[in-house]
Amino acid sequence: MLFSSEFTIVAVDGKVIRSTIPKGKTHGGLQVLTAYFVESGVVLGQKYVDEKTNEIPVFQEMLCYINIKGKIITADAMHCQKNTCSMIVGKGGDYVFGLKGNHGIMHSQIDEYFSNPENADKIEVYEEAEKKSHGRIEKRIFYRVPDICEFDADEKWSGLKSIFAVRRIVETRKGISNEINYYISSLDDTPQKMLNAVRSHWKIESLHWLLDVVFSEDDTVLSSENAQKTLNILRKFALLLHKTFIAEHNLKTSIKGSMFDCLLDEDLLLQVCS
């Protein structure tokens, strides 16, 4: 079932349809904020971001009508807001949010803590590595603070239980990249589950990438905003159908390949849509 209770991670992210940006400007295009079940590919909800506002209040408004009880909400640092955290916890959900300079004091405290060699023995550490295609090796190192009370004492975050960092080291034929990101969460679970929540967030970025690569969404020139909105919904639904069909039949093909096969075979198209 697409809405099985086993699907627990909801990633939230926004995307601007670039072809709708007025000529001569760098912003002001149609922006869609999407809440996405990463395991199933189902869009739980989406809203449009008016050019006079931003994603933060739109996401908070979205939280008023989507069911997030028992779900883990992931989002980038823009949504690391105390009101947003409070709303999620109040509706029975959990959050895993990136933390950057938008909370300067807390970010600096955490960065200094993890950078200080004297704290090395206090920090919980977990490592995992993965070999991918073309000789690419990715190592992820999870660091968790044992006591969150010493950070950001003047600010209260609803349900906050974990402060952690993830270092991502990627080795390719072109060289090695090394980056570290900080997170706050209402979860206090195993390193594997915390890492899975962080890693799962990229799937909504993959969704946005597919909208451009498979459907050329950013190049679609339509003067009607309603037409753009309708096509955005239909594209996401088409991606869901093909993703589900490929997974259910254990096919070794891409979504683009599956769509091309359906173009040549009406019977296959009916199977995908059924």
Residue pLDDT, tens place only, 213-246: 999 999 988 888 899 999 999 999 999 999 999 9
Average pLDDT, the chain: 89
Short-list 15, 196, 221, 184, CA closest to 106 = 184
Condensed to tens digits (0 to 9), the pLDDT of residues 241-267 reads: 999 999 999 999 999 999 999 999 999
Residue 47 predicted with pLDDT over 90: yes
The pLDDT, as a whole number, for residue 174 is 85
What percent of the chain is modeled with pLDDT above 90? 71
Mean pLDDT along residues 177-201:
93
Q: Report the pLDDT value the prediction gives residue 133, as an integer from 0 to 100.
A: 74
Could you tell me whether strands 72-75 and 94-99 are parallel, antiparallel, or unpaired per DSSP bridges? parallel
CA separation for the pair 88, 90 (Å, rounded) = 5
Q: What is the pLDDT of residues 153-182, one digit of tens each?
A: 546 889 999 999 999 999 888 889 999 999
Q: Which of 158, 211, 212 is nearest to 185 (CA)?
A: 158
